[in-house]
């Protein structure tokens, strides 16, 4: 089955900052049970507080599709029932918004896949079709062209006309790398792919690659998205941590993705490389062979797309659509220390990432390879993404958000919110504030004219 047309319904340095140049070079079951029990205990209280006795009348005609970030998960995975990605310790945000009357969905895409692969997976999942990674793309990166089939569309009538001749649109909301993913999706829907059209017979090509569908999306919202990469990359790269983490991540995926937790608790969506199995599907490729293949194709990964080089490449390729509303929500968990010319993390910062917040707030980085200088405006951060980077892609038009003048084809940059990278999705956050943040967002997006 093909997708597209065959739908299935069933940085300059400054005083006070260090300048870093890029050229410087137990028992498993018991442990898992303990962690899961702790998470359940923490999240259960908040999940119950999110419930409503009655579902409100429907408020939106364009559904909201939420897309998770790096190493995240969606509503279709078992772990989401333990601790939801959207809402985290404040409870299931999808349930809360649905009870408020908003039609919304939490999509599941590859947690470490490239922006391209994730966009292909997202498209097939929303429309209800077989994932097509593209003939040209799959040959370039030596992986299978087709992935799993989604027999039930997330939004069954997406892109179709109703009785009044009005097209069914959606709102796309992405956190962190999820923001990059939805940018890629809208770019392909709008512009298509010349490479894929040249490499694929017209009766086989996915509708994602033929373009002309910018009117299928009403808005794109990016939350804490590293539009222009993040300075945390440089020290991690010099220390070799990134390569080590990716190797261990792929090994973990290759092992767990073939075991009983695959499909029941997690889903890695790496069947195109044979690294993990499709839940309930055929067996994966040999682990050694799959590991060798995926490690040989580093550019087809989130790890590459998030680097300064990879992000620079993506920004050169992706085009903003004149028919779509764009919004960005930057966060900051640091505060300035003028006497020292640095930013330090607030006490409320998640202790797991407070060191990265401190490091990003003290060090300016010069990248002679890309010719980029990251100055003091880059010091504020959410512990993983520089606040400046989360505002908008630097090669695309932007404006500060003005509720009285919201235009398409330009990034409407929201005021900076206080909090770290996880606060934005409710992790160790205030429930009322989290719910208010997303209710206001949905209300604003819902008021946009079609």
Q: In a structure prediction context, what are the per-residue pLDDT tens digits for the chain, which is 450 residues long?
A: 344 434 433 333 343 444 444 443 334 333 333 333 333 333 333 333 333 334 467 788 999 999 999 999 999 999 999 999 999 999 999 999 999 999 999 999 999 999 999 999 999 999 999 999 999 999 999 999 999 999 999 999 999 998 889 999 999 999 999 999 999 999 999 999 999 999 999 999 999 999 999 999 999 999 999 999 999 999 999 899 999 999 999 999 999 999 999 999 999 999 999 999 999 887 888 999 999 999 999 999 999 999 999 999 999 999 999 999 999 999 999 999 999 999 999 999 999 999 999 999 998 878 887 888 899 999 999 999 999 999 999 999 999 999 999 999 999 999 999 999 999 999 999 999 999 999 999 999 999 998
What pLDDT score does 2 carry?
A: 41
DSSP string, 129-194: SEEE--HHHHHHTTS-SEEEE-SS-SSTTTT-B-TTS-B--EEEEEETHHHHHHHHHHHHHHH--H
Are 306 and 226 spatial neighbours (Cβ–Cβ below 8 Å)? yes
Q: Is 348 a catalytic residue?
A: no
- Give dist(CA 66, CA 86) in Å, integer: 8
Query: CA torsion sign, 382 to 180 to 99 to 56?
Result: positive
Catalytic residue among 108, 138, 176, 417: 176
Active site residue 389: no
Q: What is the dihedral of CA 374, 377, 378, 384, to 10 degrees?
A: -170
User: How far, in Å, CA of 335 to CA of 381, rounded?
Assistant: 9
Kindly name the residue from 3, 80, 382, 420 that is annotated as catalytic.
382
Q: Where are the alpha helices (DSSP H) in 216-299?
A: 233-238, 241-256, 287-296
**Of the candidates 147, 172, 184, which has an alpha carbon nearest to the alpha carbon of residue 269?**
147
pLDDT of res. 56: 60
143, 187, 421, 435: which is the annotated catalytic residue? 421
> What is the per-residue pLDDT for 58?
78
Indicate if 421 belongs to the active site.
yes
Domains and CATH numbers, the chain: 18-446 (3.40.50.1820)
| In the block, residue with structure tokens 């070799």 | 240
| Centroid of chain to Cα 110 | 10
């Amino acid at each position: 089955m093909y997708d597209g047309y065959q739908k299935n319904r069933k940085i300059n340095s400054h005083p006070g900052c260090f300048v870093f140049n890029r050229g410087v070079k137990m028992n498993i079951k018991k442990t898992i049970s303990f962690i899961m029990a702790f998470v359940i205990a923490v999240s259960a209280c908040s999940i119950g507080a999110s419930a409503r006795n009655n579902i409100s009348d429907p408020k939106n005609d364009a559904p909201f599709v939420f897309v998770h970030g790096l190493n995240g998960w969606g509503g279709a995975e078992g772990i989401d029932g333990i601790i939801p990605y959207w809402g985290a310790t404040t409870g299931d945000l999808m349930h809360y918004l649905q009870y408020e009357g908003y039609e919304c969905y939490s999509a599941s895409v590859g947690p470490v896949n490239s922006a391209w692969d994730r966009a292909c997976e997202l498209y097939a999942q929303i429309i209800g079709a077989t994932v097509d990674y593209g003939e040209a793309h799959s040959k370039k990166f030596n992986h299978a062209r087709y992935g799993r089939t989604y027999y039930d569309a997330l939004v069954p009538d997406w892109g179709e006309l109703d009785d009044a001749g009005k097209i069914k649109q959606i709102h796309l909301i992405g956190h962190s790398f999820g923001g990059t993913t939805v940018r890629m999706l809208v770019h392909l829907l709008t512009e298509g792919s010349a490479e894929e059209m040249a490499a694929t017979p017209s009766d086989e090509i996915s509708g994602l690659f033929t373009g002309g569908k910018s009117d299928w999306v009403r808005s794109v919202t990016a939350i804490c998205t590293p539009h222009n990469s993040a300075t945390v990359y440089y020290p991690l790269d010099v220390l070799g941590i990134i390569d080590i983490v990716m190797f261990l991540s792929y090994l973990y995926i290759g092992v767990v993705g073939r075991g009983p937790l695959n499909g029941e608790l997690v889903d890695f969506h790496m069947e195109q490389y044979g690294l993990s199995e499709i839940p309930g599907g055929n067996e994966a490729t040999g682990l050694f062979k799959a590991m060798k293949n995926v490690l040989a194709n580093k550019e087809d990964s989130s790890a590459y797309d998030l680097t300064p080089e990879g992000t620079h490449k993506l920004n050169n390729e992706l085009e903003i659509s004149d028919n779509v509303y764009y919004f960005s929500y930057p966060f900051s968990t640091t505060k300035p220390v003028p006497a020292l010319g640095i930013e330090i993390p607030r006490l409320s910062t998640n202790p797991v990432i407070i060191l990265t917040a401190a490091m990003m707030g003290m060090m300016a980085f010069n990248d002679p390879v890309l010719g980029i200088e990251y100055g003091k405006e880059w010091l504020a951060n959410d512990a993983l993404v520089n606040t400046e980077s989360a505002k908008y892609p630097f090669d695309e038009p932007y404006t500060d958000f003005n509720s009285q003048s919201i235009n398409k084809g330009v990034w409407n940059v929201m005021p900076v919110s206080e909090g770290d990278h996880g606060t934005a999705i409710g992790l160790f956050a205030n429930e009322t504030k989290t719910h208010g943040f997303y209710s206001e967002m949905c209300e604003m997006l819902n008021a946009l004219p079609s």
